[in-house]
Amino acid sequence: MGRKRKSRPKKRRRSSRRNRGWALTDWILPLLLAVILGIYILERARERFSPPAETVSGRPVEVYFTRLDNPFETVKHLIRSARHSIHVAVFEIDNMDLALALVDAKERGVDVRVVTDERNARERAVRYLMKKGIPVVLDYRKNFMHDKFAIIDGRYVITGSTNWTDNGFFFNDNNLVIIHSKNIASSYEKEFDEMFERHLFGPESPANTPCCYLLDSIRVEVYFAPEDGVSRHIVELIDDAEKTVHFMAFSFTSERIAKAMIRALRRGVHVSGIMEKRNLSDPHNRYRTLRRAGADVVPDRNPRIMHNKVIVIDSAVVITGSYNFSNNADRYNDENVVIIFDRDIALEYLKYYRWLRTGR
């Protein structure tokens, strides 16, 4: 008789509970992510459609134009009147009068901090700030820390297209905006701290600042590039235009924004603009594309530089800030943008636009 085979021990069946546990995990994680995403979307929608209201004494938003007004004296006055803090994030700084005013503020006990681009570090004004003990953080990336803003005493935001340079204030065409708002100042402070404290610039910067505010009756939206998808917001506003789109552009290479303007032209919107003549030879510049589509676009007349980055829609909405209409601005640089929904302010920009086109 042959040997009896030893019966193999039966394999234990894995607990079905464990299987159920894995299945539970598989669907709980996506559900949690979906809930978090839904909360984020709802919160952004709430910010946009029910912005926090703030009562402001005096005029909530002031606008100035170089070569037409004197924004330099306004900025210097705000620095000299600061009591607690001055936080500056500006691409180029070479004006010694402002550097002296910042040092004087530090010496009277004001917290003065500066963020600028590394390409600007050799300027006399920046070296003077460092020598006098003002902390200066530099962005060493290939792309630009291109912001143009300052926060004074957590109450005022200075922004627009103006670098703090002699050319920026006295020779180039620029606009400057002063916003009186603690809420908006807080948003800009958060962006400043990311750069100054954590050295986060451009694509590394998190999307964590509220967008939308109501200052008395003026709606203001604040965005930072690239994290807030600025071109998307600009395109949405152009797509909503009913009558007119006016723009002033130092650099305009964005295909996405150009296509939105062409769509506006095709539905009967009047599109007109001024572009910096030195950039018209750039093969990516949209000057010829827009002209061929029927836009009334002309080169600027300033023998120096037309440095504005402005779009005015339906004589009621103004888009301005440091943001050139370019791919680099949208995806790689560090930039700031403000959108102002106010007809009176829009009309001030249109008056300036006409002055740039005609010289009167």
Q: Which of these is catalytic: 139, 147, 309, 342?
A: 309
Rounded-to-integer distance, Cα 216 and Cα 44, Å: 21
Rounded-to-integer distance, Cα 127 and Cα 289, Å: 43
- Pairing, β 85-90 against β 111-117: parallel
Instruction: Look up 344 and say whether it is catalytic.
Output: no
Q: Which of these is catalytic: 87, 307, 330, 342?
A: 307
Rounded-to-integer distance, Cα 309 and Cα 319, Å: 8
| Residue 21 φ/ψ, nearest 5 degrees | -65, -45
Rounded-to-integer distance, Cα 195 and Cα 147, Å: 11
Rounded-to-integer distance, Cα 86 and Cα 151, Å: 6
Instruction: Look up 233 and say whether it is catalytic.
Output: no
Instruction: Look up 104 and say whether it is catalytic.
Output: no
CA atoms within 13 A on the CB side of 23: 6
Nearest Cα neighbor of 115 from 336, 358, 328, 349 is 336
Cite the active site residues.
307, 309, 314
